[in-house]
């Protein structure tokens, strides 16, 4: 991919963070980290499993050795459009963290344009809480997650509240938001 295409992918994800994740408060911790400049969005030029895993490992190492960045979103602009292929990458990424001894320090979150929770119908609007304009592997530093959770009055209610909000707004609402993000 050209550097312009990779930059566009990053812009699409940044637009999604602003217009979905922060504006709809899907992640109540995101705005604080964005405002502090602690969120990294990167789109490596990868399209196959091995190269994607190498890019995720590189970003994990950067995150582990950088006290300023709290979280990194690795945008996969090509090669993981199929949700099953993405899930394979996610499983292998989890195994990579374990194998490298990073699972105590880092965790993963996942976002994909076709995200579907296990046991939930594909057209259920609740899936939009994890749908993004492009496939994303989100690396989070465990210590920062623990601090954020400790400061939240009811962290366990976040997923249910998000899914209820998504259902109340409906799929068409989110489809339009994602369409606008892809135009960024």
pLDDT given at position 153: 86
What's the CA gap between 128 and 179, in Å, rounded?
13
DSSP state, residue 1 = -
What residues form DSSP beta bridges with 42?
A: 74
pLDDT given at position 75: 98
pLDDT given at position 151: 82
Q: Which residues contact 159 (CB under 8 A, 6 or more apart)?
A: 129
Per residue of the chain (184 residues), give pLDDT as tens. 899 999 999 999 999 999 999 999 999 999 999 999 999 999 999 999 999 999 999 999 999 999 899 999 999 999 999 999 999 999 999 999 999 999 999 999 999 999 999 999 999 999 999 999 999 999 999 999 999 889 888 999 999 999 999 999 999 999 999 999 999 8
What's the CA gap between 54 and 165, in Å, rounded?
36
Token pair recorded at residue 132: 């993004």
pLDDT given at position 149: 86
């Amino acid at each position: 991919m050209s550097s312009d295409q990779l930059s566009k992918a990053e812009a699409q994800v940044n637009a999604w963070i602003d217009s979905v994740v922060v504006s709809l408060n899907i992640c109540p911790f995101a705005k604080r980290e964005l405002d502090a400049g602690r969120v990294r969005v990167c789109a490596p030029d990868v399209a196959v499993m091995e190269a994607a895993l190498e890019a995720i490992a590189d970003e994990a190492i950067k995150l582990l050795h950088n006290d300023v960045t709290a979280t990194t979103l690795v945008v996969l602009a090509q090669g993981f459009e199929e949700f099953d292929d993405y899930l394979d990458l996610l499983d292998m990424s989890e195994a990579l963290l374990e194998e490298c001894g990073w699972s105590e320090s880092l965790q993963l979150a996942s976002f994909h344009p076709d995200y579907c929770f296990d046991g939930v119908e594909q057209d259920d609007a609740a899936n939009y809480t994890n749908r993004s304009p492009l496939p994303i592997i989100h690396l989070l530093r465990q210590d920062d997650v623990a601090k954020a959770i400790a400061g939240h009055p009811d962290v366990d209610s976040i997923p249910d509240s998000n899914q209820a909000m998504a259902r109340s707004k409906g799929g068409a609402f989110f489809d339009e938001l994602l369409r606008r993000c892809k135009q960024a």
